[in-house]
Amino acid sequence: MTVEDRKKGGVSWKVYRTYFNAIGAAASVLSLVLLATGQSAKIFTDYWLAHWAAANSTLNSSLDLAQEGSSTTGAAIDESTSLYLAVFGGLTAVQAILTYIFYVSYYGSTLRGARRLHNAMLRVVSLAPMSFFDTTPVGRIINRFSKDVDVVDQTLPMVLMQYLNCMFAVIGVVVLISTSNPLFLIALIVIGVIYVFVQRYYLRTALELKRLDSVARSPLYAHFNETLTGVASIRAYGCAQAFLKENASRLDKANRVYIPIVTAYRWLSVRLELCGTLMIASTALLGVLSVSSNSTSEQNALAALAISMALSITNTLSWSVRVSTEVESNMNAVERIKEYEELQTESAHYIPHSSPDKAWPTEGRVTLKNVSMKYREDTPLVLKGLTIDIAPGEKVGVVGRTGAGKSSLMTLLFRLVEPCDGSIIVDGVDVTNIGLNDLRSRISIVQQDPTLFIGTARYNLDPPGKKSDAELWTALEQVGLKKAVEALGGLDSELAEGGENMSVGERQLLCMARALLRNSKIIILDEATASVDMETDKALQETIRSSFSSCTVLTIAHRLNTIIDYDRILVMKDGIAAEFDTPAELLRSKPNGVFATLLKETGPSTCSTLTKKAFEVEKQKQS
């Protein structure tokens, strides 16, 4: 397994660009404009209140005349109050409407962006080569699709919105205070430098801690997945306590990063509060010094508003520094998603200009010419110059010891791993030059561990939903599974996860029915009967011989009795075709060969029976 990569340093601007591209340029600009306009309306509302207060102070001098019975002055005061109230109400309404539109637009666009990032990562991971899954723990992948996607779905939009709100609020207040007292700009520059220094110093630590936290979760998720997968074995062998202890240990390690995160946050809070105190003191001092006996009511009101704003904006400014670090820390999730979006994928699934005929393959001839293969660049060859020719409709058994290259051959035919050298010809078409979908949709495989999905029997038989009920029932009848499916409730009966409400043999038969429905001329059986009992094995072999009689069948054999009557036996050894001939000919011409040795290892009785059967089959085919 590879070690999980952890980035270092600040988050690249490419990551921010990836996120905002996912949101959409138009949606991003619209959100910023709405937020800026809404904050402007809020600041102007506060300014209007100060202006109203100053105007009322001036009008108070006219109250004596109003008390003396001057109805004109009283009417003027009422008219002025109505005007100020109307403007204030209008500004408040505009602010509320803009805020509502902003939230709808912002959260709608960020959700779309999160969906696009998730779908892009899912598409790339789905198309990743098998080597990626061989070297990457499932828990690590789950971590990206759970924790990181959750951050992009919820946490990141929230902290980004808070940061933007804080920044526009701070800008508005700074403009307002500077208008009241330009000398405040000098103090602002000094305090601003301190804020930026503290924020940058904290950010380096916070970002690394966030990355450590993300990486620390992967082993925990991997252990969860392994425990759930093997829960039956864990209980059967009484290992529950050991797994509980291991889970607790991994949970402790995952939470170990949390304490430094909280400590660093407290460190930041103390210094931001100190900076806030300096800002309040500067604003108050400058406000008091700016007020004199010659100051107008308007100037006094603005000075009071500036001090009031400074008191409120201190918390906002401190919070803006905190959420700015949260934005960059949570951008780590986008960084990790982007990393998976840039994974190397398999070859093209569709190549229109080299797509074979719809009826291909019509015969089922398979030819390998000097084919070599390795699973990864840094690993040795597992197939070395393999050259074989399989005739149409031929039944070929593939045998060999563990590591001989049997499964590698099947991996190669589906191009789960690309060949290093040589060519693979199927009915005259070099399959390395066509799209993967064209290749894999024309060849069928039945594996040792049958794969069924949660859903109906119909869906598991025909995922695209292109076959009629009659065709489905015919396929089930051919493999001898019709009664079992009827007992479950028919084609629309629900299958449990992994087909748990069916026996292993029934699951294998269902997979064979699925292969039969695809009308493939080439069928690969990857030790399909290795995990079933002899009775089920016998039933499966009868199904293979009757249902796939006109197909080219390649069977990786675990039990030699299942392929002793095949047309030819391909014996793999160290990645090469050590022997390739009929069973009888291999036993006759190479009595000490690999196949003969494997046959002897089954025991004297079984060896004698299978040897006799091999020669009987040869006579039957010759007659």
Q: Which tens digits make up the pLDDT trace of 461-518?
A: 998 888 999 999 998 988 888 888 999 889 999 988 777 888 877 888 888 888 888 8
Q: Is residue 321 part of a domain?
A: yes
Return the H-helix or E-strand segment holding 367: strand 366-373
Round to whole Å and give the CA distance between 340 and 236.
38
Q: Are 129 and 345 in contact (CB under 8 A)?
A: yes
Place 57 in a pLDDT band, splitting at 50, 70 and 90.
low
In this prediction, residue 449 carries a pLDDT of 78
162 and 298 share a domain? yes
Which of 301, 317, 341 marks a domain boundary?
341
What number is the average pLDDT over the span 383-394? 93
Give the Å distances, CA to CA, from 165 to 34, 307, 313, 320. Answer: 11, 21, 12, 9
- Percent of the chain scoring above 90 in pLDDT: 32
| Residue 60 pLDDT exceeds 60 | no
314 and 417 share a domain? no
Which of 581, 597, 616 marks a domain boundary?
581
416 and 272 share a domain? no
Residue appearing with tokens 């029976």:
609
Round to whole Å and give the CA distance between 21 and 155.
18
- 389: domain CATH number is 3.40.50.300
- Among 11-25, 251-265, 417-431, 597-611, which is the least confidently predicted range? 251-265
Give which of 331, 406, 378 is closest to 574, Cα–Cα. Answer: 406
Interstrand relation of 429-430 and 576-581 (parallel, antiparallel or unpaired): unpaired
Which of 341, 374, 401 marks a domain boundary?
341
Give how many domains the chain has, as a whole number.
2
What number is the average pLDDT over the span 275-289? 75
333 and 374 share a domain? no
Round to whole Å and give the CA distance between 446 and 107.
46
Tokens of 498: 């992994």
What are residue 447's DSSP bridge partners? 526
Q: Is residue 3 part of a domain?
A: no
What number is the average pLDDT over the span 384-388? 93
142 and 286 share a domain? yes
199 and 257 share a domain? yes
Q: Are 568 and 580 in contact (CB under 8 A)?
A: yes
Decide which of 367 and 268 is more confident. 367
In this prediction, residue 532 carries a pLDDT of 64
Q: Is residue 603 part of a domain?
A: no
Give the Å distances, CA to CA, from 438 to 123, 358, 558. Answer: 19, 9, 30
336 and 367 share a domain? no
- 44: domain CATH number is 1.20.1560.10
Round to whole Å and give the CA distance between 445 and 451.
11
The total number of residues shown for the chain amounts to 623
In this prediction, residue 18 carries a pLDDT of 93
In this prediction, residue 172 carries a pLDDT of 80
In this prediction, residue 65 carries a pLDDT of 46
For residues 57-75, one letter each, b for 16 or more C-beta atoms within 10 angstroms of the residue's C-beta and e for the rest, the string is: eebeeeeeebeeeeeebee
In this prediction, residue 287 carries a pLDDT of 67
For residues 215-238, one letter each, b for 16 or more C-beta atoms within 10 angstroms of the residue's C-beta and e for the rest, the string is: bbbbbbbbbeebbeeeeeebeeee
- Percent of the chain scoring above 70 in pLDDT: 88
CA dihedral sign, ordered 581, 586, 590, 593: positive
DSSP letters for 396-456? EEEE-STTSSHHHHHHHHTTSS--SEEEEEETTEEGGGS-HHHHHTTEEEEESS----SEE
For residues 559-583, one letter each, b for 16 or more C-beta atoms within 10 angstroms of the residue's C-beta and e for the rest, the string is: bbbbbbbbbbbbbbbebebbbbbbb
55 and 93 share a domain? yes
525 and 387 share a domain? yes
50 and 171 share a domain? yes
Round to whole Å and give the CA distance between 495 and 57.
80
101-158 pLDDT, tens digit per residue, is 998 999 999 999 999 999 999 999 999 988 888 888 888 898 899 989 999 999 999 9
In this prediction, residue 48 carries a pLDDT of 77
| Residue 273 pLDDT exceeds 70 | yes
Q: Are 424 and 395 in contact (CB under 8 A)?
A: no
Q: Is residue 618 part of a domain?
A: no
In this prediction, residue 396 carries a pLDDT of 94
The single-letter code of the amino acid at 287 is: G
In this prediction, residue 149 carries a pLDDT of 94
Decide which of 17 and 315 is more confident. 17
Q: Is residue 527 part of a domain?
A: yes
What number is the average pLDDT over the span 22-41? 88
Q: Is residue 170 part of a domain?
A: yes
Return the H-helix or E-strand segment holding 369: strand 366-373
The single-letter code of the amino acid at 110 is: T
233-272 pLDDT, tens digit per residue, is 898 888 899 999 998 998 888 888 888 888 888 888 888 8
Q: Is residue 5 part of a domain?
A: no
Round to whole Å and give the CA distance between 364 and 393.
6
DSSP letters for 516-528? HHTT-SEEEEEST
Q: What residue ranges in 464-574 does DSSP mark as E strands?
A: 494-495, 522-526, 552-556, 568-573
Q: pTM of the predicted model, to two decimals?
A: 0.75
Round to whole Å and give the CA distance between 530 and 449.
9
Residue appearing with tokens 């700074």:
174
| Residue 68 pLDDT exceeds 70 | no
Place 58 in a pLDDT band, splitting at 50, 70 and 90.
low
Give residue 44's domain range. 13-341
In this prediction, residue 2 carries a pLDDT of 63
Listed as own residue / partner, the contacts of 372-375 with beta carbons closer than 8 Å and 24 or more positions apart are 372/419, 372/420, 372/421, 372/422, 373/408, 373/411, 373/412, 373/417, 373/418, 373/419, 373/420, 374/417, 374/420, 375/130, 375/131, 375/134, 375/408, 375/417
180 and 257 share a domain? yes
- Among 66-70, 288-292, 619-623, which is the least confidently predicted range? 66-70
Q: Are 418 and 369 in contact (CB under 8 A)?
A: no
Give which of 520, 486, 485 is closest to 499, Cα–Cα. Answer: 485
CA atoms within 13 A of residue 321's CA, in its CB half-sphere: 28
Round to whole Å and give the CA distance between 320 and 520.
63
Q: Is residue 590 part of a domain?
A: no
Round to whole Å and give the CA distance between 286 and 227.
66
Place 208 in a pLDDT band, splitting at 50, 70 and 90.
confident
- Among 104-118, 221-235, 390-404, which is the least confidently predicted range? 221-235
Q: Are 598 and 592 in contact (CB under 8 A)?
A: no
In this prediction, residue 529 carries a pLDDT of 66
Place 439 in a pLDDT band, splitting at 50, 70 and 90.
very high
| Residue 185 pLDDT exceeds 80 | no
DSSP letters for 86-136? HHHHHHHHHHHHHHHHHHHHHHHHHHHHHHHHHHHHHHHHHT--HHHHHHS
- Residues with Cβ < 8 Å from 357, sequence gap 6 or more? none
Average pLDDT of the residues of the chain = 84
Place 79 in a pLDDT band, splitting at 50, 70 and 90.
low
317 and 441 share a domain? no
Q: Are 348 and 230 in contact (CB under 8 A)?
A: no
- Residues with Cβ < 8 Å from 333, sequence gap 6 or more? 147, 148, 149, 151, 152, 155, 156, 214
587-605 pLDDT, tens digit per residue, is 999 989 999 999 999 899 9
